[in-house]
Amino acid sequence: MAAPPPLPLPLILLILLLAVSSCASAAAAGAPVVGEDYIRPPPARCHRKALLSLFPWSKKKESSASDPQQVHISLAGEKHMRITWITDDNSVPSVVDYGTKEGTYTMKSQGESTSYSYLLYSSGKIHHVVVGPLEDNTIYYYRCGGQGPEFQFKTPPSQFPLSLAVVGDLGQTSWTTSTLNHIKQCEHDMLLLPGDLSYADYMQHLWDSFGTLVEPLASNRPWMVTEGNHEKEQILFFESGFQSYNARWKMPYEESGSRSNLYYSFEVAGAHFIMLGSYTDYDDSSDQYAWLKADLAKVDRKRTPWLIVLLHVPWYNSNWAHQGEGDSMMASMEPLLYAAHVDMVIAGHVHAYERAERVYNGRLDPCGAVHITIGDGGNREGLAHRYRNPKPAWSVFREASFGHGELKIVNSTHAHWTWHRNDDEEPVRTDDVWINSLAGSGCIVEGSRELRKILMSP
């Protein structure tokens, strides 16, 4: 058989040129793009794991009306945990059996219950039971209402290191599921959520589906949340605001001396956390303002060297979305936070990620707070892609993509913050920075007496 004729030289050169061009294109496509130039690709249809497949109790058996639904936990004062769940059967008692061995319950706590009606919707029986005192950094097994499946949770540690998952504007989309999967993969002691939970927006059954969606995570580690605009659900003349949120997500406001579930504080290990309400009064004559002053004045930075604030509407935001909405609250409360030397302020609301340098009164300030916007959990409204230019001097990193944050407070002086972009199966670490506590700096030592007077004044 005769050998095939050789390829013409021009054709060989063309093939080589195309090969080189393809390799160059592939290399360029593989180069990482981060920050505001990043464009989120369409979701991969075949690469979405179901959230519930990651947990042992995910395969639900046929449940009865008395079985617990939408179980979640939150801190309720020192060494105590609040367990919340819902039943369709109103005769189920608000009791929790618990212990440190699987299937063995040596302790029992009794709590309270509530319910609410919203237009044509009536909730199930909402149970709130506080258990404790509890040992630190310990796994507890528990059962709600005297029957049904066994759950478990782990209490936070009493000292550093402390690991926190942070996510805002969560919603109930495929992106939400992916984000929650990524959070499950990171070891964390507690989750912080600065508002906009379910995106129910008046459709109350979506609160129920949200509770079911987050139960695997929220029943296992404490979720500490504050309200956003999507929790308000007020209908003039018909429904007051925050009914669903207050009934379902009771936080330790009474334990922290607050009169409202919309703002409160708590302590874990060596950190003091303050959850502020962007949608309740905050001027200098308001209850929230007076409570904040009193709470800040009680903070002992030797005992809790880290001071962190969460709220929904960001004060420092270079995205065009929700521009200026936090200005009035910032004008009222930023001087208080500066006087108290707050380390970090974490917000949501804007559906993108942004990290600012330490800043105060619109200018870079080494004694100001690090501001982070993380309203990118996966909500149905999509991302906020448009940023203002030129970028402000205080803005370090900004990107419109879904994701979550992780804050590991290593010791009294150093914390490691990372933000993880939500790329289908993989949480891609995209922003990474070490933060020094102001308690370990000269800011508190050199802070003027005039600033302290702001906190102590009537």
Radius of gyration of the chain (CA): 25
For the chain, give the percent of residues with pLDDT over 90: 79
Measured distance CA(194)–CA(10) in Å, rounded: 63
Closest CA to 194 of 335, 41, 374: 374
Do residue 133 and residue 177 come from a single domain?
Answer: no
**For residue 42, is it within any domain?**
no
Sequence letter at residue 302: K
Closest CA to 322 of 291, 301, 352: 352
Do residue 185 and residue 313 come from a single domain?
Answer: yes
Do residue 240 and residue 295 come from a single domain?
Answer: yes
- Read off the pLDDT of each residue in 170-177 and give the average, rounded to a whole number: 94
Do residue 151 and residue 255 come from a single domain?
Answer: no
Read off the pLDDT band of 37 (50, 70, 90): low
Measured distance CA(373)–CA(194) in Å, rounded: 9
Closest CA to 256 of 82, 130, 132, 77: 77
For the chain, give the percent of residues with pLDDT over 70: 85
**For residue 5, is it within any domain?**
no
Q: Which residues contact 237 (CB under 8 A, 6 or more apart)?
A: none
Please give the helix or strand (H or E) that residue 443 lies within, else none: helix 443-446
Of 3-12, 84-93, 153-162, 248-257, which gets the smallest average pLDDT?
A: 3-12
Q: What is the domain range of residue 412?
A: 156-455
- Read off the pLDDT of each residue in 372-383 and give the average, rounded to a whole number: 94
The answer to whether residues 416 and 410 touch, using CB atoms and an 8 Å cutoff, is yes
Domain finish residue from 94, 121, 155: 155
Token couple for 340: 């108290």
What 3-state DSSP class applies to 87? strand
**Most confident stretch, 286-290, 382-386, 421-425:** 286-290
Do residue 207 and residue 142 come from a single domain?
Answer: no
Residues, the chain = 458
Do residue 367 and residue 270 come from a single domain?
Answer: yes
- Read off the pLDDT of each residue in 58-70 and give the average, rounded to a whole number: 75
**For residue 53, is it within any domain?**
no
Do residue 257 and residue 299 come from a single domain?
Answer: yes
**For residue 377, is it within any domain?**
yes
Domain finish residue from 108, 135, 155: 155
Measured distance CA(124)–CA(100) in Å, rounded: 30
Measured distance CA(130)–CA(306) in Å, rounded: 26
Peptide bond into 32 cis (omega under 30): no
Do residue 139 and residue 195 come from a single domain?
Answer: no
**pTM summary value:** 0.88
pLDDT at 123: 97
Domain finish residue from 155, 190, 210: 155
- Position of tokens 């290990």? 269
Token couple for 126: 């909402």
Peptide bond into 156 cis (omega under 30): no
- Read off the pLDDT of each residue in 306-334 and give the average, rounded to a whole number: 97
Mean pLDDT score of the chain: 88
**For residue 8, is it within any domain?**
no
pLDDT at 69: 97
Read off the pLDDT band of 19 (50, 70, 90): very low
What CATH number should be reported for the domain holding residue 86? Answer: 2.60.40.380
pLDDT at 244: 97
Please give the helix or strand (H or E) that residue 415 lies within, else none: strand 414-423
pLDDT at 455: 74
Given a cut of 70, whether residue 61 has pLDDT beyond it is no
**For residue 55, is it within any domain?**
no
pLDDT at 1: 45
**For residue 19, is it within any domain?**
no
Token couple for 148: 């049904």
Provide the number of structural domains found in the chain: 2
Interval 123-150: pLDDT, tens: 999 999 999 999 999 999 999 999 899 9
Do residue 147 and residue 183 come from a single domain?
Answer: no
Sequence letter at residue 32: P
**For residue 173, is it within any domain?**
yes
- Residues labelled catalytic: 322
Beta-strand pair 223-225/190-193 = parallel
Measured distance CA(423)–CA(395) in Å, rounded: 24
CA dihedral sign of residues 36, 38, 39, 45: negative
- Read off the pLDDT of each residue in 425-429 and give the average, rounded to a whole number: 75
DSSP 71: E
Measured distance CA(15)–CA(356) in Å, rounded: 49
Sequence letter at residue 429: R
Given a cut of 90, whether residue 451 has pLDDT beyond it is no
Given a cut of 60, whether residue 390 has pLDDT beyond it is yes
What CATH number should be reported for the domain holding residue 269? Answer: 3.60.21.10
Interval 202-237: pLDDT, tens: 999 999 999 999 999 999 999 999 999 999 999 988
Do residue 439 and residue 422 come from a single domain?
Answer: yes
Please give the helix or strand (H or E) that residue 310 lies within, else none: strand 306-310
Interval 241-295: pLDDT, tens: 999 999 999 999 999 999 999 999 999 999 999 999 999 999 999 999 999 999 9
pLDDT at 454: 77
Do residue 95 and residue 161 come from a single domain?
Answer: no
Do residue 191 and residue 123 come from a single domain?
Answer: no
